[in-house]
Amino acid sequence: MENEGLDERAEEALAILMENFWVLRAVEPDVYQQVRHREHVIKRYVTEKLGFTLIIHQHFIKLEKIPVEPKQWMGIQAFQEPMDYAIFCCGLAFTERRSVDDQFLLSELTEDIADMYPGEFSLNWTNYQHRKSLVRALKQLVDLHLIKAVDGDIELFAMNEEQEVLYEVTVYARYFMRSYPDDLFQYETMDEILESEWQRHQGDERRKRVYRRLFLSPVIHRSEGEDSDFAYIRNYRNRLREDIEAHTPFRLEVFKNAAMLMLDEKKQRYTLFPDQKGVMDVVLHLSAILRENVQKDFINDLGEWKLMMSEWESLLEKLQKKYQRGWSKQYRDMTITQLRHELITYLVEWELMEYDRHSGVVVIKSALPRMVGEYPKDYQAREGEESVQ
């Protein structure tokens, strides 16, 4: 049973679970049934290898994906500030006290949220920024199907605090929060919550940590000192590669300072690097510039290249000069400052760069120069022909 692989339908079902918060039967009945038909083999794999819990409910299916280390990109991307999360949690608390299909007005919700809000200052719905934060939080509650709008438009509330919306609590509101081994009030820090996750995985924690990091992170970089996770990958790479290829479409690649899962074929079901965003062309061209200009004497033992801001901007100037003619108009027209900000934001999110705002030091991680993009050799000739025409 250890070496039993997943068939194509099971691989697809696992991808759906990995990429989505949950699958709702009423919203995607065919997808729900697809996962149900393969639930036993999927459950065995995610339990044994990653230690994840697969919840099968008559209304939904959910794979609880707990990371080894939370990353910025794992948050709710539509949220812009901590207030959004606090209001969102207050909204969850509000729905907890309501019955399924219970209807309520926005004014009831805002009054309750204002009473519960834990911030250092009180919420004031005459404040535009507070209203916008509420709008973002409520739109997320709707997008997750925890509540549904019966009448009215929440966007109008951003312009006028007197606007009303009628909402209804859904059956899913009870199941958004995961259960914890102890009462949440017994935890004082986020680290304590994460540590409690491993209490039920004693004996095979290392393997599950490695699997979680491989599947939930773009890349695993070797860290300074004794890195037991990376050592495990290096020592058991063949066994890991065989198992991962038998159960998923991924292929394990292990280098001196980095390990990552790769896809030989583009699978739209997964969130992948490189993706379809316009900045991706710029990133791949940047990798080519890095390879051309790398100074090996300045590469540390982890394969990292540390650059001062002036050195980083010098590389970006070379990047623009050589490649920008083929970029989309948005990136062709960017100043060095704009391009610098765009690339830092994107690469930090993909864990291919570190950036210290205080010192201005940029750290290029070892995996970035491994992914390079170039124009076809006849690109300039064809570009010249088009300009003549």
Q: Is 53 found in the same domain as 81?
A: no
- Whether 248 maps to a domain, the answer reads no
Is 219 a domain residue? no
pLDDT single digits (tens) 209-221 = 999 999 999 999 9
Predicted confidence (pLDDT) at residue 93 exceeds the cutoff of 90:
yes
Q: Confidence class of residue 112 from pLDDT cuts 50, 70 and 90?
A: very high
Q: Does residue 201 belong to any structural domain of this protein?
A: no
Q: How far apart are CA 340 and CA 352, in angstroms?
A: 15
Output the pLDDT for position 298: 82
Query: Which structure tokens are listed for 352?
Result: 């291919």
Which pLDDT value is given to residue 50? 94
* 172: CB partners within 8 A, 6+ apart: 22, 24, 59, 60, 144, 145, 146
Does any domain span residue 299?
yes
Domain containing residue 154: CATH number: 1.10.10
pLDDT surpassing 50 at residue 385: no
- Residue 3 located in a structural domain: no
Does residue 58 sit in the same domain as residue 100? Answer: no
Give domain status of residue 249, yes or no: no
Q: Is 24 helix (H, G, I), strand (E, B) or coil?
A: strand
Domain boundary among 64, 82, 101: 64
Number of compact structural domains in the chain: 3
| The last residue of a domain, from among 46, 64, 82 | 64
pLDDT band at 184 (very low <50, low <70, confident <90, very high): confident
pTM of the model: 0.87
Q: Tell me the pLDDT band of 4, cut-offs 50, 70 and 90.
A: low
Q: pLDDT at position 149, please?
A: 94
Q: Are residues 127 and 79 in the same domain?
A: yes
| pLDDT for the residue 382 | 55
User: Residues 109, 152: contact at Cβ < 8 Å?
Assistant: no
**Are residue 297 and residue 334 in the same domain, yes or no?**
yes
Per the domain annotation, does 266 fall within a domain? no
Range of the domain at 57: 8-64
**Looking at the structure, do residues 40 and 80 belong to the same domain, yes or no?**
no
Full strand arrangement of the beta sheet holding 147-151: 103-105, 166-169, 147-151
Residues 32 and 108 in one domain: no
Pair (287, 353) in one structural domain: yes
Cα distance between residue 7 and residue 144, in whole Å: 30
Average pLDDT over residues 286-302: 87
Higher pLDDT, 56 or 182: 56
Domain closes at, from 123, 154, 175: 175
Same domain (yes/no): 44, 133: no
> Looking at the domain assignment, is residue 127 inside a domain?
yes
